[in-house]
Structure 1
Amino acid sequence: MRRLLHRELVDPLRPQDPVSDAVPPVQYGECLLSTLAAPLVRIPHLRVPRALTVRGLGNGSLWLAAFLSGFVIREPAPYELYMALLSVVWLGCGLKLRREFGPLIICMMLYIAGGIASIPMAQVQGDAMMYIAVSGFLAITAIFYAAILADDPDRFRIIQSGYTFSAVLVSAIGIAGYFNLFPGADYFTLYERARGTFQDPNVFGPFLVLPTLLLIQTLLRGPVFRHLHLLVPISILLLGIFLSFSRGAWVVLFAGVMIIYFLALVTEQSSRRRARLLFLGLAGVVAVLAFLAAALSIDTVDQMFHQRAKLVQDYDGARLGRFARYSLGFQMVMDYPLGLGPLEFNKHFPEDEHNVYLKGFTTYGWLGGTVYIFLAIWTFCSLVPLLFKSRPWTGFAQCLFAVFTAHLILSVIIDTDHWRHMYMFYGLAWGLIGADKLDRKRMRRANSRPT
């Protein structure tokens, strides 16, 4: 079991052409000292292991970036510090900003420009500047991921591996915290909800969804018995999402699973395999019901579930609750073309916006709010054609599309503005969009050459 899990999560970083550790002697029969004394150019069999090459180190650094994205319990988080250094190094080594993902670059620049223009509207300039600075950094990470994938779309395997490894570990920490499995474990909970290594359970839960979808898709597409070991990380991730008691995370998971399951059905040409998918879907429903029954048999879990499972909480439908603030907020920003200023909305209302589209207008002005909606729609529409193409990364694109779409829906009721993984999704999406455009250009050039 351990070997199978290790192979799934770590294999993308292994060299494809492993070599022996020892360097063979220059000439048969020579002693070790004479071999070491021989000039390097006389050793014809000497090869540097691929894992130690610049490309291998680059891939390893990318894996670590995806892994660190799950540790944001304090700001600045290790992810921010590491990504700042990594982006500079990769750009210095020749990472290209291509026109194929130019819309992402332009929209992010305009979005941040709107935020900068909104800073003078804030009462506390220092906090406002820091907020927009963080937004600018996250925009850079989105562009970085786009450049990485557009340059080599096969790097999705490395990102998937690092992200999945991180999510399973983070989920396990959240579960341990919820059940207080070790001294001080309750540090990883908030309001009796699992939060793992995040500041908020509402971020912790959605973060776990993409790797969950990727693992479920592997079960749907591949031989079930060969991938039974994946039930272990899937169970850990599902339990973590459940114990976050985040209604948003539950919605993202449900919507994501439905999307990838639908795509699996419509893209499968074999009637036999389609029947297999229907059977797996039914088995999945039974497994989820059994999972819920087991979890709800614990009194504390049952009480929290019934409390959180309400569609509308008291703070949602109150006079100045979440839904009322949406209407009043949009009416207010009509009088403020530059926005209210970063971190100013809660000075007019009891709480923050809890709606990223509203926050786009309050914090980034009319320019930023309009650009963000435009970017979200453009990204969604550009991803759709990739879902039905035969590419090595099509499965990854389908899962990314599912979780990205679910996050766009979630953003109506939750502020996802500074969610690190949301900016990663934008970057990964445009990286694949750019890679597809580059592939089509190469095909056109190849077809236009005289034979």
Structure 2
Amino acid sequence: MSTVRPAQRGLLFLGCLLAFVRWEPAPYDLFLIIIFLLYARGLTWKSYQLVFVVLLGPLLFTHVPALGAALEVAPERTLYYSLVTLYLALSSVFFMSLPERSVPLLLLGYEVGALLSGLLGVLAFLRIPGLEDLLWGGSRAVAFFKDPNVFGAFLIPALFLALARLEQGRKFWILPALILFLGVLVSLSRGAWANFAVALLAWWLLRPRKRIWLPLVLLTLAGGVGISVVVMPDNPIVQRLGFMPYDKERFFTQMEALSLALTQPLGYGPGLSEIHLSYATHNTYVRFLAEVGWLGLFFWLLILGTSLIWSLYQGLKQQSFRHEVYFVSLLGIAVESLVIDTLHWRHLWLLLGLVWARHAPPLPHHPR
């Protein structure tokens, strides 16, 4: 018992550290090693969790054929990229094996870190003195992330956890939910906005009668955007709604990557898109296809699809409200992956691990 409590407090801190990833290696990565050592003896796996591990193995193995040629082109880059993928995959296996009582603390830490990030991002966007470094390009909120797209997407799972707490009658969580929503908004990330819209629609469809207020919220948001277009056509949020000058280059690069995938079915090597192409792919699926090959993309889609199905089953049939959050969050990321490279997002692999983790029975006051 003497090692369990410090480890649980450590998980709370680890969740908070997910919001501070501007540096490499991030404090989160270093602290994760300590947490793993604290939990190493108590890790156990259930038989159903083998599904995820069995799918993860071939996904990692598909990197091997592409590594041969890639090591001749850029050995340091491709090894680093592959090792990061391996590290994140192993981190998801670790999270999957956590004891049931530890998951809520990890998620609470995530919520605290996201809330702090969202608040700082909103304050920076409002030009509060001293917070200028928390803006990307002088206009988009990024907090302690390197990219506003990651910042916006990171807040979304915490936002749905806050909505779940509201459903449990905890009215205070309306304020954190509002801050997190504003954080997503001021990231000025079209990918994060699409992520949130898809996740919110899925959240409503899971419990349409219990969440009948959500369509009204969506209509209000759409109306607010429409009014802002007319009243303030030059505001930064409206400007981000349309196509940007660099979008054509992104689409051209994706077509270029698809053409290379036809001639190199095993891929040209992990992490080498920026070398073989004129621009980053900004599409996780195209990047997987071009770098690791058709089999790599197949197993990635299989992992995502299986995890989505399992989280949906646990949410609806086993009444796990956390799995409802995992489902809509992963679905949103899956959609955002069409326009952003998401493979190395730490919170994506955290969600994948938690989908397969053991969970507590539903709370008695959670509405159904």
Q: Same fold (TM over 0.5)?
A: yes
Trace 1:102-121 onto structure 2 (pairs within 5 A). Answer: 102-121=50-69
Distance in 2 (CA, whole Å) between partners of 1:303 and 1:249 is 18
Q: Which amino acid aligns with 2:198?
A: A
Distance in 2 (CA, whole Å) between partners of 1:241 and 1:137 is 28
Structure 1's unaligned 5+ residue stretches are 1-51, 267-273, 440-451
Does the Cα contact within 8 Å between 1:114 and 1:366 map onto a contact in 2?
no
Give the one of 385, 391, 408 matched to 2:313.
385
SS at match of 1:206: helix
Q: Which amino acid aligns with 1:304?
A: P
Asked whether 1:205 is paired with 2:152, we answer: yes
Asked whether 1:54 is paired with 2:3, we answer: yes
Residues 1:215 and 1:295: Cα distance change in structure 2 (over 3 Å):
farther
Specify the alignment match of 1:303 in structure 2: 235
Q: Which deviates more, 157-166 or 100-109?
A: 100-109
Tell me by how many angstroms 1:286 deviates.
Answer: 7.3
Give the one of 204, 209, 212 matched to 1:261.
204
Q: Which amino acid aligns with 2:350?
A: M
Tell me by how many angstroms 1:282 deviates.
Answer: 6.2
Specify the alignment match of 2:26 in structure 1: 77
SS at match of 1:215: helix
Tell me by how many angstroms 1:387 deviates.
Answer: 2.2
Distance in 1 (CA, whole Å) between partners of 2:151 and 2:296 is 26
Specify the alignment match of 1:188 in structure 2: 134
How many residues of Structure 1 are paired with residues of Structure 2 in the alignment?
358
- Identity within the alignment, %: 23
Trace 1:319-398 onto structure 2 (pairs within 5 A). Answer: 321-391=249-319, 394-398=320-324
Distance in 2 (CA, whole Å) between partners of 1:354 and 1:244 is 17
Does the Cα contact within 8 Å between 1:156 and 1:396 map onto a contact in 2?
no
Look at both structures and tell me which one has the larger radius of gyration over its CA atoms.
1
Specify the alignment match of 1:135 in structure 2: 85
Residues 1:289 and 1:410: Cα distance change in structure 2 (over 3 Å):
closer
Give the one of 70, 84, 102 matched to 1:155.
102
* RMSD between aligned residues: 2.7
Give the one of 399, 411, 414 matched to 2:325.
399
TM-score, scaled relative to structure 2: 0.88
Structure 2's unaligned 5+ residue stretches are 362-368
Distance in 2 (CA, whole Å) between partners of 1:157 and 1:296 is 41
SS at match of 1:265: coil
Does the Cα contact within 8 Å between 1:114 and 1:367 map onto a contact in 2?
yes
Does the Cα contact within 8 Å between 2:253 and 2:278 map onto a contact in 1?
no
Distance in 1 (CA, whole Å) between partners of 2:219 and 2:292 is 46
Does the Cα contact within 8 Å between 2:228 and 2:238 map onto a contact in 1?
no
Tell me by how many angstroms 1:58 deviates.
Answer: 2.2
Tell me by how many angstroms 1:137 deviates.
Answer: 0.8
Asked whether 1:415 is paired with 2:347, we answer: no
Residues 1:297 and 1:239: Cα distance change in structure 2 (over 3 Å):
farther
Q: Which amino acid aligns with 2:314?
A: L
TM-score, scaled relative to structure 1: 0.73
Q: Which amino acid aligns with 1:207?
A: F
Specify the alignment match of 2:366 in structure 1: none
Q: Which amino acid aligns with 1:120?
A: G
SS at match of 2:264: coil
Residues 1:188 and 1:76: Cα distance change in structure 2 (over 3 Å):
same
